[in-house]
Amino acid sequence: MSYYLKLILGDIIQYRALILHYSASFSETYSLYLAKMTEIFSYTACRQLSQMFLAILFFHTSEFILAIVIHGRSNVTLSSLLISAHYILAMIFSLAEYIFEIVFFPELKEYWVISNVGLTVVVIGEVIRKLAILTAGHAFTHLIRTHRHDDHRLVTHGIYGFMRHPGYSGFFIWSVGTQIMLCNPISVVAFAVVVWRFFAKRIPYEEYFLRRFFGRDYKEYAKKVGSGVPFIN
């Protein structure tokens, strides 16, 4: 009888030890989970992500409002918001990188000097693009014109005296700046390469029509003024 009693007591002690072990493991895992969640909702993350959200919101909302003011509501569609499937995927990738890095490498996001430089770059890009829209007026469209309209004129004054495509230059600067602001090293490079490649194809295509529309005037203008996007003539 005492043998069976010892056996039962031994099993009970063993089970209690197992329960304590798994309880400790669960507690440790839960504590780790809370620590990771704290990183995601830290002051750094809240500030940087809110800046990113506000930058995106202002950029697209202002684009849409300016398009309505300049071209009229009847001539403006949701495409003026400049939100495409590729753009959404890029932003999702950017957010995924940010979350991964702030969870596993939180110190990477604490370089406030770099983040603030990124914020400044965002503002500069925004200003350049909006100056381009306001200066060009009706000549500025989100879609490339393949036929010359009566109100289509060659704009060479204001910011267009410094660069031929300030709208593209502004967007390039703005998009890369958003990733510097988030301290996203992978996305900084990815955004710079992808956006540059897009404009490397778009600018020659657009300028083919501009040369047809304005002839010698545009050729002379292109000789004197750069495109505004690095390494694109």
- In a domain, residue 17? The reply is no
**Which pLDDT score is estimated for 18?**
60
Question: Which tokens belong to 54?
Answer: 């506000």
Range of the domain at 82: 47-224
- In a domain, residue 149? The reply is yes
Give me the number of domains the chain comprises.
1
CATH code (residue 163): 1.20.120.1630
CB 88 within 8 A of CB 96: no
- In a domain, residue 208? The reply is yes
* Alpha helix segments (H runs only) across 111-184: 112-136, 166-181
**Which pLDDT score is estimated for 30?**
46
**Which pLDDT score is estimated for 111?**
96
- In a domain, residue 126? The reply is yes
**Which pLDDT score is estimated for 114?**
97
Closest CA to 208 of 221, 219, 195: 219
CB 196 within 8 A of CB 227: no
- In a domain, residue 229? The reply is no
End-to-end CA distance of the chain: 96
- pTM, rounded to two decimals: 0.83
- In a domain, residue 39? The reply is no
Residues 6+ apart with CB under 8 A from 175: 125, 191, 195
Question: Which tokens belong to 140?
Answer: 């500025």
- In a domain, residue 9? The reply is no
Question: What is the Cα–Cα distance from 40 to 36, expressed in whole angstroms?
Answer: 7
- In a domain, residue 10? The reply is no
pLDDT along the chain (233 residues), means of 10: 56 62 57 52 92 96 93 79 87 97 95 97 98 95 86 92 98 98 98 97 96 96 97 94
